[in-house]
Amino acid sequence: MSESNMDNNNTRKIVILNELTEILKVREPMDYSEINPALNPNVGVEYIASLDEKKEVEVKALQQAWEQLEELLFNDLQITLQEKNQLVTYLGQKLKEEKQKQKSRARSRTQVWRPNE
């Protein structure tokens, strides 16, 4: 992934997070006692329907933002896992090289030099 594409993805994540923040700032917990017809017989159908419409808009906005963010973060997770796996591979190679060097050094130290050979 190119650096400009990563910057663009990070910018998109920040925009989505800001949108989510704004949605959550204005989101108010529902007072069910106010709209429950059993507790408040004066509540009107129109009022409950208007609240339902507002909640539907809120649900769709949250769901859309979540799905976009999830997709971007999943891509980041996949890339990061690939990078980590590559590092594990490189580390394994380096450890194998070091072990081979140590074996070579140990062998060369145990050999005796003979002038006639």
Task: Name which of 83, 75, 78, 59 is nearest 12 in CA terms.
Answer: 75
Q: Are 10 and 66 in contact (CB under 8 A)?
A: no
Q: Which pLDDT score is estimated for 110?
A: 67
SS3 state at 29:
coil
Q: Which pLDDT score is estimated for 6?
A: 75
Q: Please give the chain's pLDDT, 117 residues, in tens.
A: 567 777 888 999 999 999 889 888 888 888 899 999 999 999 999 999 999 999 999 899 889 988 999 999 999 999 999 999 999 999 999 999 999 998 888 777 766 666 775
